[in-house]
Amino acid sequence: MSAKAISEQTGKEFLYKHICTSAAVQNRFRYASVTAETDWERLSREHPWLLTERLVIKPDQLIKRRGKLGLVGINLDLHGVREWFKAHVMRETTVGKAKGVLKNFLIEPFVPHPQEEEFYVCIYATREGDHVLFHHEGGVEVGDVDAKAQRLLVAVDEKLSEEQVTEKLLTHVPDEKKPVLASFIVGLFNLYEDLYFTYLEINPIVVTKDGVYVLDMAAKIDATADYICKAKWGDVEFPPPFGREAYPEEAYIADLDAKSGASLKLTLLNPRGRIWTMVAGGGASVVYSDTICDLGGVDELANYGEYSGAPSEQQTYDYAKTILSLMTREKHTQGKVLIIGGSIANFTNVAATFKGIVRAIKDYQGPLKEHEVTIFVRRGGPNYQEGLRVMGEVGKTTGIPIHVFGTETHMTAIVGMALGHRPIPNQPPMDAHTANFLLNASNSAVTPATTRTASFSDPKTSSEFNPAKKSKADLPAAKPMTLFRKQTKAIVWGMQTRAVQGMMDFDYVCSRDEPSVAAMVYPFTGDHKQKFYWGHKEILVPVYKNMADAVKKHPEVDVLISFASLRSAFDSTMESMQYPQIHTIAIIAEGIPEAQTRKIIKMADQKGVSIIGPATVGGIKPGCFKIGNTGGMLDNILASKLYRPGSVAYVSRSGGMSNELNNIISRTTDGVFEGVAIGGDRYPGSTFMDHVLRYQDTPGVKMIIVLGEIGGTEEYKICQGIREGRITKPVVCWCIGTCATMFASEVQFGHAGACANQASETAVAKNQALRDAGAYVPKSFDELGEVIKTVYDDLVANGTIVPAQEVPPPTVPMDYSWARELGLIRKPASFMTSICDERGQELIYAGMPITEVFKEEMGLGGVLGLLWFQRRLPRYACQFIEMCLMVTADHGPAVSGAHNTIVCARAGKDLISSLTSGLLTIGDRFGGALDAAAKQFSKAFDSGMLPMEFVNKMKKDGKLIMGIGHRVKSINNPDMRVQILKDFVKQHFPSTQLLDYALDVEKITTSKKPNLILNVDGFIGVAFVDLLRMCGGFTRDEADEFVEIGALNGIFVLGRSMGFIGHYLDQKRLKQGLYRHPWDDISYVLPEHMSM
């Protein structure tokens, strides 16, 4: 949601910190917050004014009219405040319908003043601008300020002046107070705008000869502006409405939501209730709550919440386990029900999200059975059949009663089943599998005649495109009545390849001549081409770095589909409206600050641009055009007959519910003519009435469906249109959110705009008004499909609609990735791996999650054991590996590898090139002796050769013994690296048979020449063989295989890489120039005849 209430203390802190006014604001930061845990002695030390001044104390818990409720202690000393506090703290209090406990209180200085010095000021946001209300009589008895107050509308993007305030608002204020109040109100308005307030009320504001005192304050801020205002806001705590506790589980889900691109919401209504919900989609979550309350379950409804926006399996698991944990804490005599519901998803992979829920159910199967929980599931969308199958399977394996339904069942039918109002079908009819729609069942792949793209009842016209009419210079441009046609071309902003491919598949089944996507814009890459499928054929779509290039090269484009993030959507949309060819913009992003959305709307009205969104999935015009992911995957497009137009047009706020409407309309009528989801924000770019009037003026539309929502007053314009005769076509309308009036405390639903600020904005009031105006309004969402069918059947009966014959659409090949996910095909993998898996929520090394690797403190040696040997090695083995890496890390700049690295670094090459240059020198003569030594000594030892026999045989064969000999070190000048390793191995290894054999060989070789010692390569080689053979983790064959495939040389390569990188960095740090080898160090030996 966007507009969130803040505590009075937070609101005053913002005001005192950031207001800019010439008026003297008194008592700045003179407030103290107290709770039952407050240390009063410490409090008085921190706020010494508490000991010297008369005081006021009041609860700070979003309670309105505290004065009238007797919840303000006035003109008290500190002792009186403490007594008043003791009498009220932790006491249950009723405010309206809400019962709550008083916990948080605010103490401020008492300001003595006469009544005539009290004033009222309020600023609140609406679509057209910000209203400033002022009344010269403030205080407890202010009464109906809406009727009494002076009022001034400051239009979007305009400023407020002191002259305007004085002239329009301060007409009844004494002259001597006008300058002070005018300056303060302008400062307050600027603060309101700068800090993204949506509501700010001060009652009373007191003006004395000393200045301005802000006594009582209530405020809301736009929480979506956090990324803009973080520096000024700091960390804001949003208190729950009075009457509802703040639960840690709610905070946990809010934290998950903040860290996710998906939407995760949870509000606990009654933790002891027996009816729990886990609903996908902001609109659907409201519909399920409505239905539960309509069927008498309001007192047992435990929670409100939703998950949407394609959460990952892990996120869904975390969400589900939180709900399952909450519902299995207290038993209920009647058992409990869990409703896992949702509309038909547009782009969320249902099977993937259900995997998370299934994991949670398995984890909680014991408590779920103990608490007699029955689960009802209804879902549709991409891969939903697999999701439902998995959900049904877990019911059978765990013994938990789980009833599973798909799109063949009305969305809210499971609520009636769960509450015992309708029977549970034994074997619900299952819709065809996704593959049935996408794999060609007939022998013909011929594209059907294009006549099917005409509306079933639409008279044939030459063109259905009405361009925007030219407006006079001083009037806003007129918006086109037809947003999409069969020739519409769009630019997609953002690298949304899946959405673009979905649009192209839709275009193909609609028999469009060309794809609807002309180009994409993605600022983070250079201009290039992106590959997509057009039916069976591959095509290239240009991708531009900026919008200017895209519109210049594609003048035929008139639609922009913006997948820009909430942070960049405003700027990119404002820029796009500068191009006159753009007539329609769909803004998908959710969470754009309301102030920015209103600026977008204002410019769109001036430019004659139609805006769909923000916070929307988009819209669809069957047979013509679809926005992004609207309508879901191709199976749903085909199942809901969205490839050809019908006679019914709809407008909805919710994207998920728009897809549900597609399903309902396809089952009860001849199908959809056009459908738009205007978005769930408080100020959608276009309104219900904008689209209803378009539908009214479109000949192909014979009936209109509106799915309204609690919050706002747009639906009343439809009532007015029906009464005045502007709307003559049948309108079926239902406003969701009827449950809100049944809750004791305010609940913010999934959509930012789904909150009633007055009685007329409730869903119940709007449904009744629509019914009274002559719209067809069902008794509940459960009956919506029946009412639509009744109205449609009447239109068919009187000849208004003449259903046409169905013609099958062309077959679209299924994408390989999707077919594989559905389990329809198999293909041998190009690669196999057995050491690492990065696909899940957590990286896994050889079966061990990365968190466990750190928890067990395995170190680098342990990680190497997992990745190289697929074993968890003993602690001493891990330490030995790390010691080997340390002793082989470097051996000075003179060795060939380091030399090469240095030469490359000085030639200006990069790190990778320089490192590779050094590594390429590793072989039998440099560093590669580990493997060779291990193989030679192992072969001799295993064949039973005595050390002397081994030495003699190697001499006879004319071969060097690898791992024996050193250029500098000798028996008299031992290599300390070898000594360190030898001491460790002898102390920790269970057996050192091969090492002992090699040391015996060393005795023979050093007797001939002192420098023929067992060097560090040889030592590591033979010790590693002992480790592999004797640590208990490998068979003899496995140990020998690791030696054979070169694992031991890897130790040297890995260790020495550290040294090579060190040499590279050293040369760069020393800024060494290009190396040229000196002549005097080169012996020029030319052929004799050349020198003559």
Nearest CA-CA partner of 120 in 141, 100, 104, 99: 141
DSSP-derived secondary structure letter, 112: -
Q: Taking Cα atoms as reference points, which of 406, 672, 639 lies closest to residue 509?
A: 639
How far is 685 from 500, CA to CA, in rounded Å? 23
d(CA 275, CA 1051): 60
Cβ burial 511-550 (10 Å sphere, 16+ → b, else e): bbeebbbbbbbbeeeeeeebebbbbeeeeebbbbeebeeb
Q: Residue 915 and residue 1056: Cα distance in Å, rounded?
A: 10
Long-range contacts of 903-908 (CB under 8 A, 24+ apart): 903/1075, 904/1064, 905/1063, 905/1064, 905/1067, 905/1068, 905/1072, 906/1067, 906/1072, 906/1073, 906/1074, 906/1075, 907/1074, 907/1075, 908/1074
Count Cα atoms within 13 angstroms, Cβ side, for 167: 5
Q: Which amino acid is at 588?
A: I
Three-class HEC string of 264-317: EEEEECCCCCCEEECCECHHHHHHHHHHHHHCCCHHHECEEEEEECCCCHHHHH
DSSP letter, residue 978: H
Report the length, in residues, of the chain. Answer: 1092
What single-letter amino acid sits at 59?
Answer: P
Based on the residue annotation, tell me whether 751 is a catalytic residue of this protein. Answer: yes
CB-based contacts of 339: which residues, under 8 Å, 6+ apart?
275, 276, 277, 278, 279, 288, 292, 375, 376, 414, 415, 418
CA atoms within 13 A on the CB side of 574: 10
511: left (phi over 0), alpha (psi -120 to 50) or beta: left
What values do phi and psi take at 187, rounded to 5?
A: -60, -40
Which two three-digit tokens encode residue 799?
């000849």
The DSSP-derived string for 926-957 is TBTHHHHHHHHHHHHHHTT--HHHHHHHHHHT
Q: How far is CA 476 from CA 569, 584, 607, 648, in A?
A: 23, 15, 6, 30
> Nearest Cα to 710, choosing from 686, 745, 683, 739?
739
Residue type at position 881: I
* Whether the Cβ atoms of residue 618 and residue 291 lie closer than 8 Å to each other: no
CB of 713 within 8 A of CB of 759?
A: no
Cα angle, residue 645 at apex, residues 641 and 646 outer, rounded to 5°: 85
Sheet holding 55-59, edge to edge: 32-34, 105-109, 55-59, 73-76
C-alpha to C-alpha distance for 693 and 480, rounded to whole angstroms? 12
Smallest CA-to-CA distance from 440 within 536, 539, 343, 298 is with 536
Question: For 410-473, where are the E strands, in sequence order?
Answer: none
SS3 113: coil
- Among residues 135, 136, 371, 751, the one annotated as catalytic is 751
The beta strand positions in 422-503, using DSSP E, are 490-493
CA distances from 64 to 29, 71, 95 (A): 22, 10, 8
Which one-letter DSSP state was computed for residue 521?
Answer: E
CB 684 within 8 Å of CB 493 = no
Instruction: List, by residue number, the catalytic residues.
Output: 751
